[in-house]
Amino acid sequence: MNTVVLLSRDNVLLKQLQAAFARSAPQLTTVLADDPRAVDAQMAACWFPLPGSLAVLPNLQVIHSVAAGIDHLDHDPSCPDLPICRVVDPGHRQGMTEYVRWAVIHYHRGFDQVLAQQREQRWERPLQQTAGQFKVGVMGLGSLGSAIALDLVAAGYDIRGWARRCKDLPGVRTFAGAQELNGFLDGVELLINLLPLTNETRGILGRDTFEKLANGAVLVNCGRGGHLNIDDLEQALTRGQLRGALLDVFEQEPLPVDDRLWTMPGVTITPHMASAASHDCIAEQVAENFRRLHVGEPLLNCADRLLGY
């Protein structure tokens, strides 16, 4: 049977994916976890699956993330040791570049301050500085991070980047490895996180990192919620070490309505919208890997569970 089970705690997303599979992959039978046919599924398409939801599927052969990352699968500790694939959308890079460009302009030009002043009916122009005077750091120089760094260089910003291994990007001052992290952070006024979530990077956005930045710096987290230490963020914002934080990713999504981040002064929240694969692209890539599974061809976009991406 050509059965794929859709697993997520986000019921709205599940409905949207069902519609996309019906449009773009009608050859597949897509079911939800509570459907009796789910036990026949050979592939699970997942986004933050509920704990235990993967363990009860005896015929699974492949687990497919519906995003570029796979760390959200850790929310189900029963996740079996099977091949894991991810979705790579050609439009993902463009969407992320647009989001980060907006974030940089928003804080560089002081629009966060202007919006706060409007609520107080206060007329005061923020200090304007050229793009070349604004120091931006990009953590993670993979496909997305490199594209963003080069885009910001083209816009005239002072850009530096940090990655696990050495990178060579024109116009970007690059740093590599733990031994060069402090030098990378020193004096950065806006820090963009695009790292994959691994054992080494979990919690990296915490007090030690914030204290190395310029006083009154801004954090933009487009990586994963697990990168951020929320207690340290709140303290840094209270002390004025950080002026603000733009958060697009969270350890639990959707973000619970009673989460303190919603009302934390200086924090702006967006609903994991920086960039995402289109639902039709997800359906098409899952369907292609389903076809490959059944004809014995190599699967596309396989992830390394040990590396976490």
For 153-175, b/e burial (b = at least 16 CB within 10 A) is beeebbbbbbbbeebebeebebb
Full-model pTM? 0.82
What pLDDT does 69 receive? 86
Q: Give tens-digit pLDDT for 144-199.
A: 999 999 999 999 999 999 999 999 999 999 999 999 999 999 999 999 999 988 88
CB 31 within 8 A of CB 41: yes
Q: How many CB atoms lie within 10 A of CB 216?
A: 11
Mean pLDDT of 236-265: 96
CA atoms of 28 and 16, how far apart (whole Å): 16
Residue 105 tokens, joined? 């302009």
Mean pLDDT of 68-86: 92
DSSP assignment, residue 91?
T
Q: Give tens-digit pLDDT for 193-217.
A: 999 888 899 999 999 999 999 999 9
CB 32 within 8 A of CB 21: no
Checking if the pLDDT of 90 tops 80, the result is no
CA atoms of 189 and 11, how far apart (whole Å): 38
Domains of the chain in start order, with CATH, are 3-89+277-295 (3.40.50.720), 92-269 (3.40.50.720)
Contacts of 181 (CB under 8 A, 6+ apart): 162, 175
- Residue 209 three-state SS: helix
Mean pLDDT of 65-86: 92
Checking if the pLDDT of 108 tops 90, the result is yes
Checking if the pLDDT of 305 tops 90, the result is no
Query: Which residues are part of the catalytic machinery?
Result: 224, 272
What pLDDT does 89 receive? 84
What pLDDT does 120 receive? 94
DSSP assignment, residue 304?
-
